[in-house]
Amino acid sequence: MTRTRTPLAATQSRRGFLGLSLAAGLVLSLEACGGGSSGSSGGSGTNTLTWAWQLPTTWDPVTSSAGSDVQMLALAYDPITALDEQGNAVPWLAESWAYDAAGTTVTFTLRSGLKFSDGTPLNAAAVAKSIERGRSQDGSLIAPQMKSIKSVAASGELDVVIELTEVDYQYPLLFAGKTGMVVNPAAFEKDVDALATQPAGSGPFAVTSYVQNDHASLKRNPNFFAADEITIKALELYPQQDPATVVAGVQSGQFNLARISGAQVEAAEAAGLDVQVIDSMFVSVLDVNASMAPFDDPAVVEAMKFAIDREKLKEVVGFGVGDVNYQPFPPGYVGYNEELADVYAYDPEKAKQLLADAGHTSPVKAVFTSSGQSAPAVELIQAQLKDVGIDATIETIPQTQHTQLVYLEHSKALTYDGFAGRESPVQAFQVLFGAEGLMNPARQTDPKLEAQLEKVKQTPTDSPEYAGLLQEATRIAVTTFPNTFLQLMPTIVIRKGVSELPASPSLRRFEGVTVS
């Protein structure tokens, strides 16, 4: 048994450090992933990885409603660009890109010889159609990130030319995630609805069968542009397992890679499993609908931010794993603002005074919605709010309805959730605070933040001014919006017969994986 901690590099790169570890044999020459061995439920033969992690809300990147879906979607799809461990945009499907002098046209040049998993050419025309669909299809959840695109067209077989309505230097970063994942036009032009269960991409694996809410079976994609780096022949993907059974599942060989919480670390170590803690961009957060009572009162929102003892949350809920945080970015990230390091430090007396000054002489009634996945955290926060005069009744809803009710119907006032980060920091702000942001339940924004983000977008990411502009946007957002950030949540994995995973706070990659 070994236990390792993989730290997030404290790099002050102007572009951040959202990591993406790739195989040493690839052109990017970055780190290789850990390997996988076969499990009893993981299909026949060797070289099978059984991964108890999560199933996506959909296999269509355009309508995916959870940020964490990107982990699963990356198995079947390739993005146009990728991110290195410092958060810089680096080549992936596109081997290079360039802006014009005005900053309003960017051309991405693809690698030659690319193919989708079905063997059809992945050329500039296909990429242009995929981008166009993402920005124009009804119901697209990535369209808000591409509002500044005026037109997209192929120029020859390899060049994708994007004309913008305004200067925007974020696109090479933006296209490293779901927004840049290329979907085969042959699939969405034939039956767009089928993509929900039948992904059509060019990633390292291809889905062979999918049972919703149960599991997905994938096989190695020989048309993946770095297929010689993939030694896993099959991958079985399962939802995150029940805390009561996940350790036993890995110990027995049912799975060989699984995600656990801090509460399960001791049991996993006692079972002789390898435990690895990987720092991530994931931050737990209270999402607040400021258009609903009582959170339409700014004093209630501010009191709530001071009422929560985040250190207690870390101790009781996270079993000491994770770090208190008051903003959407971790320390060291280009958008992290040092001035906000303890901006809402636990102060129950101040919380009580804020409520009293606002005329609240009796307990403020509220409804606290929970999907049941983080019940200990919800219950502890409920108790802390009650201590300062906010009487929150817990309403538990099915996890499968959480996104629909909270973020699409905007029908819940307060919920406990997490934010998985985004490849582009401007995109992160749009998702959290934008007028169309998925994780902005009230869909209310602020002109000061919008103006600041325009400055960020119009500044090249390698400019000396970029970091300061982005950190000022963080200050505006954290002190203006009701979102209440709580704690950085590292990824904790247990492994059996799987080598150590890379130090990547972003995607799990499988290039270079070998069977131990």
Say how many CA atoms lie within 13 Å of 224 toward its Cβ: 25
Sheet holding 105-110, edge to edge: 94-99, 105-110, 159-164, 149-155
The Cα–Cα gap between 331 and 452 comes to: 21
Coil/strand/helix, residue 238:
strand
Question: For residue 79, is pLDDT > 60?
Answer: yes
Angle between helices 298-307 and 375-388 (to 10 degrees): 110
Instruction: Specify the CATH number of the domain 61-199.
Output: 3.40.190.10
Identify how many contiguous H helices and E strands the chain contains and give both numbers: 14, 20
Instruction: Answer with the residue of higher pLDDT: 430 or 24.
Output: 430
Which residues, 6+ apart, have CB-to-CB distance to 117 below 8 Å? 76, 184, 200, 201, 202, 203, 206, 221, 223, 224
Burial classification of residue 3, based on how many CB atoms lie within 10 Å of its CB (0-12 exposed, 13-18 middle, 19 or more buried): middle
Do the Cβ atoms of 175 and 152 come closer than 8 Å? no
The Cα–Cα gap between 104 and 165 comes to: 7
- pLDDT at residue 273, as a whole number: 95
pLDDT digits (tens, 9 = 90+) for 474-506: 999 999 999 999 999 998 999 998 888 776 666
- pLDDT at residue 438, as a whole number: 84
The Cα–Cα gap between 311 and 324 comes to: 6
Handedness of CA 193, 152, 202, 29 (dihedral sign): negative
181 phi and psi, to 5 degrees? -70, 130
Listed range (5-14, 227-236, 288-297, 441-450) with the worst mean pLDDT: 5-14
Tokens of 456: 């960020």
Strand locations in 399-502 (E):
414-419, 484-488, 491-495
- pLDDT at residue 34, as a whole number: 31
Strand locations in 56-148 (E):
81-83, 89-91, 94-99, 105-110
- pLDDT at residue 145, as a whole number: 87
Question: For residue 66, is pLDDT > 80?
Answer: yes
* Percentage of residues in the chain having pLDDT higher than 70: 90
Question: For residue 454, is pLDDT > 90?
Answer: yes
The Cα–Cα gap between 107 and 110 comes to: 10
Do the Cβ atoms of 47 and 58 come closer than 8 Å? no
- pLDDT at residue 8, as a whole number: 40
Angle between helices 298-307 and 348-357 (to 10 degrees): 170
Q: Rounded to a whole number, what is the distance in angstroms from the first to the last CA of the chain?
A: 15
pLDDT digits (tens, 9 = 90+) for 199-231: 999 999 999 999 999 999 999 999 999 999 998
- State the pTM of this model: 0.79
Do the Cβ atoms of 163 and 150 come closer than 8 Å? yes
Listed range (65-69, 101-105, 220-224) with the worst mean pLDDT: 65-69
Instruction: Answer with the residue of higher pLDDT: 32 or 285.
Output: 285
Question: For residue 343, is pLDDT > 90?
Answer: yes
- pLDDT at residue 292, as a whole number: 97
Buried b (16+ CB within 10 A) or exposed e, 289-299: bbebebbebeb
Nearest to 408 by CA among 433, 374, 437: 437
Please name every residue paired with 392 in a beta bridge, in sequence order, or none if there are none. Answer: 366
The Cα–Cα gap between 64 and 57 comes to: 6
Q: Where in the chain is the domain with CATH 3.40.190.10?
A: 1-55+213-278+492-516, 61-199
- pLDDT at residue 87, as a whole number: 66
Question: For residue 511, is pLDDT > 90?
Answer: no
Question: For residue 18, is pLDDT > 60?
Answer: no
Which residues, 6+ apart, have CB-to-CB distance to 349 below 8 Å? none
The Cα–Cα gap between 278 and 408 comes to: 31
User: Tokens 């990107």 sit at which residue?
Assistant: 70
Strand locations in 279-317 (E):
283-288
Which residues, 6+ apart, have CB-to-CB distance to 138 below 8 Å? none
Question: For residue 39, is pLDDT > 80?
Answer: no
Nearest to 74 by CA among 513, 512, 508, 511: 508
7 band by pLDDT with thresholds 50, 70 and 90: very low
User: Tokens 């933040």 sit at which residue?
Assistant: 449
pLDDT digits (tens, 9 = 90+) for 129-146: 999 999 999 999 999 889
Question: For residue 84, is pLDDT > 70?
Answer: yes
The Cα–Cα gap between 49 and 41 comes to: 10
The Cα–Cα gap between 351 and 305 comes to: 8
CATH 3.40.190.10 fits 1-55+213-278+492-516, yes or no: yes
Question: For residue 427, is pLDDT > 90?
Answer: no
Instruction: Answer with the residue of higher pLDDT: 19 or 110.
Output: 110
pLDDT digits (tens, 9 = 90+) for 223-249: 999 999 998 999 999 999 998 999 999
pLDDT digits (tens, 9 = 90+) for 299-329: 999 999 999 999 999 999 889 999 999 999 9
pLDDT digits (tens, 9 = 90+) for 372-423: 878 999 999 999 999 999 999 999 999 889 989 999 999 999 999 999 888 8
25 band by pLDDT with thresholds 50, 70 and 90: very low
Instruction: Answer with the residue of higher pLDDT: 335 or 363.
Output: 363
What average pLDDT does the structure give for the chain? 89
Phi-psi region of 462 (alpha: psi -120 to 50; beta: other; left: phi over 0): alpha
- pLDDT at residue 270, as a whole number: 96
Nearest to 456 by CA among 201, 448, 110, 372: 448
Please name every residue paired with 259 in a beta bridge, in sequence order, or none if there are none. Answer: 493
| Helix ranges restricted to H, 4-123 | 70-76
The Cα–Cα gap between 366 and 467 comes to: 38
Question: For residue 24, is pLDDT > 60?
Answer: no
Q: How far is CA 354 from the centre of its chain?
A: 34
CATH H superfamily, domain 283-488 = Dipeptide-binding Protein; Domain 3 (3.10.105.10)
- pLDDT at residue 12, as a whole number: 32
1 band by pLDDT with thresholds 50, 70 and 90: low
- pLDDT at residue 41, as a whole number: 37
- pLDDT at residue 399, as a whole number: 87
